[in-house]
Structure 1
């Protein structure tokens, strides 16, 4: 069994200030850290590990594009689960958009809900925190 312990990937220098970098740069940094984290838990990878990487990509990208910037990111191993935690600078809640084939995007938030067994959003004075719990048998 692995102890439930948070691994903080990014931490802001100033409270609630967004981390700098383009969406693709921050997303790739977060995915690289998640890959290392997952390599310890499930060295052979698998579809569950790929699902965690996909959720990391979607949540970090959404924080940068729609949330006023990424302010923190972390991963936590639980008993048979991994929790992805992303904080951004916006207090605005994510929302599901109706499907529109003429509009690009809009697939990330529904995908996170499909892959995760639990998704929570909490709003604080400096923005919001999105936590997604995914199954990860190890």
Structure 2
């Protein structure tokens, strides 16, 4: 099983999210057998959404873990907030969000939110290979 872990902080939010996505793409490019381009794009999109949510709502830092498993690619983001993501009506007028968590749930074969013994939570998504 291939794995990777990346620490992400909000000192430069857009740069931090881009770094997480670049790290995910590098991880995916090293897998054998290789993922189809569409599957890799989906994984990177989910990384972007989960890292963005963690930085915005989870305390300003997070850790991204990726694991290639026989059943799919697991994306796990650990942050310091105990609050689970929630489904909400997307804001079409002011643009305050609400699209990410529903999107992740539609793209993933499974999602989970797990409280961590050390505080905070892990949000994970399993995506098809």
TM-score (norm 2): 0.88
Report if aligned partners of 1:68, 1:90 keep a CA contact under 8 Å in 2: yes
Deviation at 1:19, TM superposition (A): 3.0
Q: CA deviation at 1:77?
A: 0.4
Of residues 115, 124, 128, the one that matches 1:131 is 124
Gaps in structure 1 of 5+ consecutive residues: 11-17
In 2, Cα distance between the equivalents of 1:44 and 1:75? 14
RMSD: 1.8
Q: Does residue 75 in structure 1 map to residue 41 in structure 2?
A: no
Runs of 4+, deviation exceeding 3 Å: 42-45
Q: Structure 2 regions of 5+ residues with no counterpart?
A: none
**2:23 counterpart of 1:38:** no
The answer to whether the 8 A contact 2:88-2:98 is kept is yes
Specify the alignment match of 1:55 in structure 2: 46
Give the count of matched residue pairs.
126
Pairing 1:1-138 to 2, within 5 Å after superposition: 4-10=1-7, 19-41=9-31, 43=34, 45-104=36-95, 105-124=97-116, 125-136=118-129
TM-score normalised to structure 1 length: 0.82
